[in-house]
Amino acid sequence: MIKPLDVCDTTLLDYEKKFKALSDRNRLYIMRILSTEGKTCVCDLSGLLELTQSKLSYHLKILLDVNFISVERVGKWNYYSANPTEIKKVLSPDLCCLFYPE
């Protein structure tokens, strides 16, 4: 029996986390908003998604942990942006068009 390499295990674990992050409609919607609208204030995301602050924070944390999005603090507000390089690594061309329409 072939034993997987440690590097392979790490890579597989990274992709497992990324695909889990994609397995929720709210997180997909967050990524679509950030990909199409650009940098967006957390206050605007809350209104668009109709989520409580705690639920929105939960989803944003998951997306941050897999590097699909980034955050920048401006004054008292956090602004989130999509990371297209990471997103395009895991999405097919068909699905990418939802996030990056031409």
- Enumerate residues 6+ apart whose C-beta is below 8 A from 79: 39, 40, 41, 42, 71, 72, 73
Taking only the tens place, the pLDDT of each residue in 51-69 is: 998 999 999 999 999 999 9
Pair 35, 100: CB distance under 8 Å: yes
Report CA 86 to chain centroid distance, whole Å: 9
What is the pTM (predicted TM-score) of this model?
Answer: 0.82
26 domain-assigned = yes
Half-sphere exposure of 36 (CA within 13 A, CB side): 13
- H or E, element range at 6: helix 6-21
pLDDT value at 29 more than 70: yes
71 domain-assigned = yes
pLDDT value at 90 more than 90: no
44 domain-assigned = yes
Based on the structure, what is the number of domains in the chain? 1
CATH value at residue 61: 1.10.10.10
1 domain-assigned = no
The domain containing residue 78 runs over which residues? 6-99
